[in-house]
Amino acid sequence: MHSLFLHDRRAFLGRLALGGIAWQVRGAFADELVRTPVQTEGPFYPDKLPLDTDNDLIIINDAATPALGDVTYLSGRILDSSGAPVRSALVEIWQCDNNGAYLHSGTTNREKRDGNFQGFGRFMTGSTGEYLFRTIKPVPYPGRTPHVHFMVKLKGREKFTTQCYVKGHPGNEKDGIYNSVKDPKQKAAITVPFTPIQGARAGELAARFDIVLGFTPQV
């Protein structure tokens, strides 16, 4: 039973990574391209990386117990400023667990940390620029509205950091880092809906966050 579950899970993640789900194609995308604003890295990038750094943050290695929280398939594309997909981009995410604790020695709520949450994950983009993570819907912690931290690493370039926010969350209005982005279009670009996946047996959510980097292709 256990190994069957693992097999199914990996097959599912693999299918998603290969584009098995048809996401909506946006019309006139290039005309609407908005550069993703840089957001602070913050103090909680893991000071010690977990042993498991894959794109499934819900299960650590082959653990039997999943993380607490609203399971979310968080995906998107890494694009350059012309809208072309960026391959070989290392996408890293990190976020607090369902109890507001980060995978960091200086985290708040450390005593309540969910040991089943990976807290950090990585995904290397292919030719489509797509990335995919299975994680939880972010929750608030003292002083911050819910967010997922992103870092994009590309050979020969400065690392890019930003944060992605939950559309409609009431905490957004009071969050200083979120509101440091003044341009409404740039703000909209980091604010994404977390919506239930139709027919998902366990009520999983999907969120789509494209990252537009500020450089043009080198051809």
Residue nearest to Fe ion (CB): 42
Closer to Fe ion at the Cβ: 42 or 171? 42
Angle (CA) 122 126 127, round 5°: 155
Contact indicator for 164, 148 with CB cutoff of 8 Å: yes
Binding residues with Fe ion: total (CB under 5 A): 1
Sequence letter at residue 25: V
Closer to Fe ion at the Cβ: 129 or 146? 146
Least separation in angstroms between CB 105 and Fe ion: 15
Contact indicator for 205, 73 with CB cutoff of 8 Å: yes
Closer to Fe ion at the Cβ: 73 or 178? 178
In angstroms, the CA 60 to CA 8 distance is 16
Least separation in angstroms between CB 94 and Fe ion: 8
Least separation in angstroms between CB 19 and Fe ion: 30
Residue 216 token pair: 């043009």
Residue carrying structure tokens 């880092």: 177
Q: Should residue 46 be labelled a site residue for Fe ion when binding is judged by CB under 5 A? A: no
Q: Should residue 42 be labelled a site residue for Fe ion when binding is judged by CB under 5 A? A: yes
Q: Should residue 140 be labelled a site residue for Fe ion when binding is judged by CB under 5 A? A: no
Least separation in angstroms between CB 130 and Fe ion: 24
Contact indicator for 177, 203 with CB cutoff of 8 Å: no
Closer to Fe ion at the Cβ: 42 or 46? 42
Which letter does DSSP use for residue 170 in this model?
A: G
Chain residues in the site for Fe ion (CB under 5 A): 42
